[in-house]
């Protein structure tokens, strides 16, 4: 009897804790965007609770696919929260040579676990500025300046002709075939591999 009461108490505590965070249910939705490539010089990506992969080559267009997700106390609430998430993919208003891809989420959803993962393909190498607060980052084929930051996750960066700055507070950084131009900074728990191109 005591064991049953203890089990029930633990279940209620878990439910109450989840309720305090505003999520008992999580839902997700996939998206695919095929956009014209207008010889952009830089791609900027901003998201949360999701990974980012940015690869150059093997496409004539700018291809953005991924999954957005949100939580709630019920299925209906989670679906309503998910509907409020917006995937923005457009040229920067102040700099037409920069293309911006980001998750827009209302501040009211900050405790509903909003997030989005991005898989991005671009026709040619360009500069990259990628940030996520929780998820891994992979960039292959970039040039000039590459800035990568995650609060939680590994970073993999390959085939960059230029400067790389990579920051993670919890994860490995794997850097390979980076040309020795300018200054390269890596800040993280541990560098797994750093190999310069020759």
Instruction: Give 170-191 pLDDT, tens digit per residue.
Output: 889 988 877 766 445 666 544 4
The pLDDT value recorded for residue 9 is: 35
What is the DSSP code string of 39-108? Answer: --SEEEEEESSS-EEEEESS-SSEEEEEEEEEEESSHHHHHHHHHT-EEEEEE-SS-TTEEEEEEE--GG
Greater pLDDT, 119 or 178: 119
Contacts of 17 (CB under 8 A, 6+ apart): none
The pLDDT value recorded for residue 99 is: 98
Range of the domain at 172: 22-196
Distance CA 81, CA 85 (A): 7
Residue 68 belongs to a domain: yes
pLDDT at 24 over 50: yes
Residue 79 belongs to a domain: yes
What's the number of domains the chain is made of?
1
The pLDDT value recorded for residue 23 is: 75
Residue 14 belongs to a domain: no
Residue 57 belongs to a domain: yes
Residue 17 belongs to a domain: no
Residue 4 belongs to a domain: no
Average pLDDT over residues 136-149: 94
Residue 32 belongs to a domain: yes
Distance CA 184, CA 168 (A): 15
Supply φ then ψ for residue 6, to 5 degrees. -65, -45
Residue 34 belongs to a domain: yes
The pLDDT value recorded for residue 12 is: 33
pLDDT at 77 over 80: yes
pLDDT at 121 over 80: yes
């Amino acid at each position: 009897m005591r064991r049953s009461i203890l089990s029930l108490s633990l279940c209620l505590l878990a439910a109450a804790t989840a309720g305090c965070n505003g999520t008992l249910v999580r839902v997700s939705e996939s998206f695919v965007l095929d956009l014209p490539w207008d010889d952009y010089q830089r791609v900027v990506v901003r998201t949360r609770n999701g990974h980012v992969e940015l690869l150059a080559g093997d496409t004539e267009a700018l291809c953005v696919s991924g999954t957005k997700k949100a939580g709630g106390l019920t299925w209906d609430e989670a679906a309503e929260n998910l509907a409020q998430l917006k995937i923005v993919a457009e040229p920067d208003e102040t700099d037409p040579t920069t293309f911006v891809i980001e998750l827009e989420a209302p501040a009211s959803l900050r405790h509903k676990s909003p997030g989005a993962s991005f898989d991005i393909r671009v026709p040619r190498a360009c500069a990259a500025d990628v940030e996520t607060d929780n998820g891994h980052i992979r960039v292959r084929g970039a040039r000039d300046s590459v800035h990568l930051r995650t609060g939680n996750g590994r970073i993999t960066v390959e085939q960059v002709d230029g400067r790389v700055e990579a920051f993670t507070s919890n994860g490995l950084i794997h850097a390979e075939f980076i040309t020795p131009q300018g200054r390269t900074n890596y800040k993280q728990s541990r560098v797994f591999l750093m190999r310069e191109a020759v």
